[in-house]
Amino acid sequence: MALYKAAVIIPTRGGAAKLHYPLDALEHQTEKNFQVIVVCDGDIDGTAEVVEDYRARRVLNIEAIVFEENRGRSTALNAGHRAADADVLIRCDDDLEPGPDFVAQHVAHHEGDRETGVVGLVRNIYPDNSYARAYGYSRDEKFRADAYATAPDRRWHFWNANASLTRTMFEKLGGYDERYRRYGWEDVDMGYMMHRAGAEILLVPELESNHHIAATTSSMRATRALHSGAARATFVEKHGQDVLPTPNPAGLWGKAVKTAAAVTTERTINLAGRGIDRVADKLPRPVAEKLISLLVESAGYAGIVYPQRARKVF
């Protein structure tokens, strides 16, 4: 018998200044029978001390796992999931601010006989800047609308920073794949493995959570698109092109994306993104949105076609 109904696993690196978002929210949950495991993927800013401060408040059943050096998000997630003493394992990233029934909702959706994977989409929170006005909020709303309209057999694409599975399923799948060291795709990979294993993936509107997003400018968003595009290669190598065919943008827009991608690097993204953000408020909104879209989409395509241009690991 597990000691807790649920465990909330929070992977973090350099998250000392933002951990208050999930931890304050977790102190006010309607469900009380859960534990919190914060996994510090190399403590570079005193994150472990923040966890100790919350432990001293004696509201949460909280502990920290601290790696001496950066080992990657998948390794951090696996360490937290394997240390949990609970039947339902909930991932909650360090910049999420869930609602008061976050734990209760995740637990409730695992109570049936069928194995499920439970996903809450996120609502990105931006500073009041030109990027948010021209692109951030509108694309965020479109993303959620498109996700809810997606066919059930494709919902595995949306496995994310707010998701849960049973301990049984986690052990069956062997955890997150630790080969993912670029930005993202360890979550999509988990969603696909669950789908392939027969789990029903649920997108639960009541689980939507505020996300204090790190990518708050055009250059930051496009840089992450570049790294995500590069990380996609690991997924394709593992599961095949039939599962995720290589995109082939068509028409005039597709030609523009491919042309821009041919010269896209981290340096050009930074220069172009800063320039776009400086003028975005002075342009008609549709024009500004198109410029940012071109930067982001060409960066993502460059990551797929030229993965060596994404240098950083996560």
Check residue 225 and give its pLDDT: 96
pTM of the model: 0.95
201 and 294 belong to one structural domain: no
pLDDT digits (tens, 9 = 90+) for 200-225: 999 999 999 999 999 999 999 999 99
179 and 263 belong to one structural domain: no
Average pLDDT over residues 286-296: 98
Residue 78 lies in a domain: yes
Check residue 313 and give its pLDDT: 60
47 and 66 belong to one structural domain: yes
Among the candidates 177, 210, 243, a domain finishes at 210
Check residue 191 and give its pLDDT: 98
Predicted confidence (pLDDT) at residue 314 exceeds the cutoff of 80: no
Give the mean pLDDT of the chain: 96
Residue 314 lies in a domain: no
Check residue 112 and give its pLDDT: 87
Which single residue is written with the structure tokens 């807790």?
A: 4
- Angle in degrees, 0-180, between the axes of helices 285-305 and 218-239, rounded to the nearest 10: 40
Among the candidates 172, 189, 210, a domain finishes at 210
pLDDT digits (tens, 9 = 90+) for 73-93: 999 999 999 999 999 999 999
181 and 303 belong to one structural domain: no
112 and 128 belong to one structural domain: yes
Among the candidates 210, 236, 264, a domain finishes at 210
Residue 178 lies in a domain: yes
- Angle in degrees, 0-180, between the axes of helices 186-196 and 73-83, rounded to the nearest 10: 50
Residue 224 lies in a domain: yes
Predicted confidence (pLDDT) at residue 298 exceeds the cutoff of 80: yes
Cα dist from 124 to 97, 159, 174, 183, 208, whole Å: 10, 16, 31, 18, 10
Residue 175 lies in a domain: yes
Instruction: Return the ∠ at Cα 245 (arms to 201 and 164), rounded to 5°.
Output: 20
Confidence of residue 1 (pLDDT cuts 50, 70, 90): confident
Residue 51 lies in a domain: yes
187 and 85 belong to one structural domain: yes
Instruction: Look up the domain containing 244 and give its range.
Output: 218-309
Check residue 312 and give its pLDDT: 65
Confidence of residue 118 (pLDDT cuts 50, 70, 90): very high
70 and 179 belong to one structural domain: yes
Confidence of residue 296 (pLDDT cuts 50, 70, 90): very high
> For residue 150, what is the domain's CATH number?
3.90.550.10
Check residue 181 and give its pLDDT: 84
Count the domains in the chain. 2
121 and 185 belong to one structural domain: yes
86 and 235 belong to one structural domain: no
143 and 251 belong to one structural domain: no
156 and 235 belong to one structural domain: no
Average pLDDT over residues 13-33: 97
Higher pLDDT, 184 or 30: 30
d(Cα 246, Cα 236) in Å, to the nearest integer?
9
pLDDT digits (tens, 9 = 90+) for 137-174: 999 999 999 999 999 999 999 999 999 999 999 999 99
74 and 197 belong to one structural domain: yes
